[in-house]
Copies of this chain bind each other. A is one copy, B any other.
Amino acid sequence: VATRPLPYDPIAESVRSWRAAGWGDEAPGMALIVSIMRVHQIVLSRVDASLAPFELTFSRFEVLMLLSLTRSGELPLNRIGERLQVHAASVTNSISRLEDAGLVERVSHPTDGRTTLARITPAGLQLAHAAAVRLNADVFGDVGLDDDAVSTVVEALRQLRFNAGDFVDDDG
């Protein structure tokens, strides 16, 4: 953790200041945005700490996991970017690192010479599994909220993602 616990909730304090400045109407939105920023920081540091023994970052773990859950174990780079919602340059970076570690290899696409496939290696498969087990135990198994709150938040954030145009299918 970066610093010691504060004697007060910094976000509640920001809301008070925002209201005092005459921006009461937008205070709830401000609180939501800042809460997301802070919680992101917290969970990212947890995840990275849990993954550190495997020399994986969360970004690379996501790529590895996505490949490991694919029937053939391979996927075009651009589809990885779409699915994970990251820039093509980030995918290139992640794949290169995973390739250096021997967890993934680049393969030519059989019919389209423009696209490159990433294929997970046996070592990659094994590490993906081990890392997932570890992450489940360290982080996912207890995120610091009761089950009801978890599902409520997940649903609300799904709504937010949908409204942001992340995806178009709005069943459930």
A contact residues vs B (CB 8 Å cutoff): 1-13, 17, 20-21, 23, 25-33, 35-44, 47, 58, 69, 81-87, 132, 135-136, 139-145, 147, 149-154, 156-169, 172
Do B6 and A168 have beta carbons less than 8 Å apart? yes
Do B158 and A11 have beta carbons less than 8 Å apart? yes
Q: Which listed residue (B21, B85, B151) contacts A2, Cβ 8 A? A: B85
Which residues of B sit under 8 angstroms from A42, Cβ to Cβ? 160-161, 164, 166
Do B140 and A30 have beta carbons less than 8 Å apart? yes
Secondary structure of the A contact surface, majority rule: helix
Q: How many copies of the chain does the oligomer comprise? A: 2
Which residues of B sit under 8 angstroms from A151, Cβ to Cβ? 28
Do B158 and A9 have beta carbons less than 8 Å apart? yes
Which residues of B sit under 8 angstroms from A39, Cβ to Cβ? 36, 157, 160-161
Given known A8-B167, A132-B23, contact A37–B44 (CB-CB < 8 A) = yes
Chain B residue with minimal CB distance to A59?
Answer: B37
Given known A153-B153, A163-B145, contact A36–B36 (CB-CB < 8 A) = yes
Do B153 and A145 have beta carbons less than 8 Å apart? no
* Separation of A5 and B162 alpha carbons in the complex (Å): 9
Do A38 and B85 have beta carbons less than 8 Å apart? yes
